Structure 1
Amino acid sequence: MEKATKRKMTGVLLSIFILILSLTPPAQSYFNLPTEQRLTVGEELKINLNFPQHFLQKLSFYVQTDTGNLLQQNGKVFTERSFKGTDGWPIAAEPGRVNLQMRLFGLIPLKTVAVDVLPETAVVPGGHSIGVLMRSKGVMVIGYSPVVDSKGVKHYPAKEAGIEIGDLIITINGEVVKTDGEAARLIDKLGESGQEIQLRIKRNNKELLITLKPLFCAETKRNRLGLYIRDSAAGVGTLTFYDPKTGYYGALGHIIADAETNKQIALGEGRIINAAIQGINQGEIGRPGEKIGTFLDKTTLSGDIRKNTTFGIFGKLDRHIQNSLYKEPIPVAFSNQVKEGKAEILTVVNEEKIERFAINIDKVMLQNKPEGKGLVIRITDPRLLSVTGGIVQGMSGSPIIQDGKLIGAVTHVFVNDPTRGYGILAEWMLLEAGIINQQSEKVVKGAIAPFSIL
């Protein structure tokens, strides 16, 4: 009985020890290590592990490449089958794919990391203030409005038929509707016949058919369904990057959603144009601030919107643009190259002048797949804090630059601390824009065979 109790206590203590060990920085750096990484030609093939030096000496990295000249070390072609992390990291000399298998004592396989080496991707950093104009594909239901009959009784035909806030009305009796005015006129006209009508709606990426009957409203003197609808959205944001090779751009770093329903606006058509910042409502704890902007008639910056996604809006500019602070395109850092510490953002707080402001990267979330909120950032620039109070609406998309490379974009503010907020990694925005993918397809010819465990 006593032996069984001792074994149980030993097991409990061992479990607690393993749990504590797994929460240490070295263990976290290992568990969070992405198994898919990217880097550019000329950079070290370095695996970021927060291990003490004596432990790194026990690790070996076994190499497989799809071309014999892909790696170099000390200016010579790297031909070894393996190396130690304490020996120095090889340099990626040309595009291709590398598999690195980490082994303990050269025998025990721990983890394999696949690294795609790409040509250097360079973009013009943004910071430009933009006006965003979007028209949805159909009209969005943003609320219920009573239909009052001749006796003063309120009715809600659409609500009773099952129409929900956030639904997108695509067609009415088979006729495509593009504007709220078109929808109102068509419903009034069809309602005069006293017949039921059929709406084709989109809800959570599913299409439904709903049949209902319009009612005559004594207050508005027309036939109605009892809905508030909207067909467009407009606002001020910030350009993140422009690719001079393709003409594509990325902006905002987050999805455009309807202000009333918080649902994604299904893109019908849209454009970005020049905007100027006329004032700032400062951010406070519990109340986000905002830039007050006006749209400009000049067309030095204009383009279409082709995507509205969780990573921002994307499209093609009508003409080349420049950044007054960076005369030449700058390289893009991949997620495994971003580090905590000092950085800067580019944004506009007055008229159209792009300025740089100091920030700190407080945390980098290692991500194996595209996700938002990959960075926690903190505004440290005294002037920006005095003007805005921190991160404000309209600053979304402001490029984040570290060591001369574009690493991400500002996306969200912490409501309870306007000096801090989230950023999205630039890598995911370029993937969404198709810029990295287009280059990868030319570089990576196919996966190389996985390692065998010896």
Structure 2
Amino acid sequence: MMKKLHKLNSTPIILVLSFIVLLMTGEYIKTHFNYNNIFTKLETNNSKITKNNSDLKDFSMGELPTNAKNANIENIKVYPGGFPVGIKMNTKGVLVVGFSDIEVAQDKIESPGKKSGMELGDVILKVNNEDILDSKDLIKKVDKSKQNVEITIQRGDKIFNKTINPVVSTLDNSKKMGLWVRDSTAGVGTMTFYYEKNNIYGALGHPITDADTNSILKVRSGELVDSSIIAVKKGEKGSPGELKGIFIDNEKSKGTILNNTFAGIYGKLNGENKFAFRNGQLSILPRDKVKEGKAQILTTIDEKGPTLYDVEIVKLFHQDAPDIKSMVIKVTDERLLNKTGGIVQGMSGSPIIQDNCIVGAVTHVLVNRSDVGYGIYIEWMLNEAETVK
């Protein structure tokens, strides 16, 4: 029997800060949230999301000359974040995250989707040339289709069609393609910056990805809500710590999520309901002016809200193309070391500040060194903010 999907409600939900909850839905639906930490550990597959594109955007942000490059981004001033935000996002199409055999009489039939050549990470956009809104819509369209189903798939940058012959399951007498799919995600993340003039925010510093396929989830719609930190798990060697938070007001939208990119999520805030930024505006320091040495991170680990903690930038990487691993940072602040052990899951997106300017954001923690992690140049995040229209 098909099980019902549990939806978010007004009850506070405990989530891992900054690393997104993935909800499995589709032809086979689970009845609970599956909390997966994504991009919390430094692993070789992180290189998959590196942006190998040397054609960088101009840093106009609405106020600079169209030929502005590194030096001129110092004219931009943004509000630093460092506080948690609740994230609710629906994907564009549905993401294939697994295959399943189908029970027919006393036998099991291999997944028709898998037999047709579908791969994990494929995004189903259409069925018989009709757009797919979510997993329930996919089930409905497949079940009412004729013998063969033509589906439109996006794999990486390529979009193509496949024909699949669904099988009628004896469990519920419905047509199935033998796929596990995902259509939404929810969790708590860290705000990095807010550019008031164009009402654009950036958060996380890394993409929201699917834990099973490592695919960057494509946004159909999404929103931000208020959230709060309620607990800290201290990091230890081989076991990164984490910040845990809750949705405070699940129903009141604070902003929209328009893009999910290699460098985080971006969108706009909602008028009078937008978040209150406690700190004044700061300038941006371009990557060629960032230096090794003393710096600070602005992050939230308790009810006190965003607090500055001392770190050291121990290594900078020369980058002509965007990458989420731009610098290595080490926590030196005893307050943070005593409370969290250093960098923990949930701090990604926390602004890195040097000489009273924003230079980057935290993105990773090393598995065996909780006091050491990676950061992204803020310049790369501003590039992605330019995609918000």
Q: Aligned partner of 2:209: which letter?
A: A
Where in structure 2 are the equivalents of 1:234-273 lying within 5 Å? Answer: 234-273=186-225
- Aligned residue pairs total 327
**Are 1:122 and 2:122 an aligned pair?**
no
Q: Aligned partner of 1:356: which letter?
A: L
Cα distance in 1 for partners of 2:106, 2:131 equals 34
1:147 CA drift (Å): 0.4
1:279 CA drift (Å): 1.6
Cα distance in 2 for partners of 1:188, 1:97 equals 53
Tell me what 1:323 maps to.
277
1:350 CA drift (Å): 2.0
SS for the counterpart of 1:392 is coil
Tell me what 2:127 maps to.
172
Distance 1:316 1:97, change over 3 A: closer
Question: Of residues 339, 342, 364 in structure 1, which corresponds to 2:294?
Answer: 342
Cα distance in 2 for partners of 1:376, 1:412 equals 9
Where in structure 2 are the equivalents of 1:317-396 lying within 5 Å? Answer: 317-319=269-271, 321-324=275-278, 326=279, 328-351=280-303, 353-396=305-348
Greater mean alpha carbon deviation, residues 252-261 or residues 297-306 = 297-306
Cα distance in 2 for partners of 1:351, 1:275 equals 11
CA contact (8 A) 2:222 2:258 kept: yes
Q: Which has the higher contact order (CA 8 A, sep 6+)?
A: 2
Cα distance in 1 for partners of 2:198, 2:289 equals 25
Tell me what 1:400 maps to.
352
Distance 1:432 1:173, change over 3 A: same
Where in structure 2 are the equivalents of 1:12-27 lying within 5 Å? Answer: none
Cα distance in 2 for partners of 1:222, 1:254 equals 39
1:124 CA drift (Å): 0.7
User: What fraction of aligned residue pairs are identical, expressed as a percent?
Assistant: 40
Question: Of residues 95, 113, 118 in structure 2, which corresponds to 1:158?
Answer: 113
1:351 CA drift (Å): 4.3
CA contact (8 A) 1:278 1:294 kept: yes
SS for the counterpart of 1:255 is coil
Greater mean alpha carbon deviation, residues 251-260 or residues 301-310 = 301-310
Deviations 1:160-196 (A, max 9, x none): 1111111000011112111111112222232xx5x11
Distance 1:229 1:300, change over 3 A: closer
Cα distance in 2 for partners of 1:300, 1:400 equals 29
Tell me what 1:426 maps to.
378
1:215 CA drift (Å): 0.9
**Are 1:212 and 2:167 an aligned pair?**
no
Distance 1:177 1:293, change over 3 A: same
**Are 1:137 and 2:88 an aligned pair?**
no
1:220 CA drift (Å): 4.2
1:233 CA drift (Å): 1.4
The structure number with the bigger radius of gyration is 1
**TM-score of the two chains, using structure 1 as the length reference:** 0.67
CA contact (8 A) 1:142 1:261 kept: yes
Cα distance in 1 for partners of 2:110, 2:140 equals 20
SS for the counterpart of 1:283 is coil
Q: Aligned partner of 1:176: which letter?
A: D
Q: Aligned partner of 1:323: which letter?
A: F
1:95 CA drift (Å): 8.7
Cα distance in 1 for partners of 2:220, 2:354 equals 36
Distance 1:304 1:296, change over 3 A: same
Deviations 1:287-312 (A, max 9, x none): 33322221121789821112211111
Q: Aligned partner of 1:425: which letter?
A: Y
**Are 1:188 and 2:143 an aligned pair?**
yes
Higher helix share: 1
Deviations 1:202-228 (A, max 9, x none): 111111211111112223442211111
Cα distance in 1 for partners of 2:294, 2:197 equals 30
Aligned alpha-carbon RMSD (Å): 2.8
CA contact (8 A) 2:81 2:298 kept: yes
Distance 1:323 1:153, change over 3 A: closer
Cα distance in 1 for partners of 2:230, 2:250 equals 16
Tell me what 1:411 maps to.
363
1:262 CA drift (Å): 0.6
SS for the counterpart of 2:213 is coil
Cα distance in 2 for partners of 1:315, 1:391 equals 26
Where in structure 2 are the equivalents of 1:254-293 lying within 5 Å? Answer: 254-293=206-245
Tell me what 1:309 maps to.
261
Distance 1:115 1:266, change over 3 A: closer
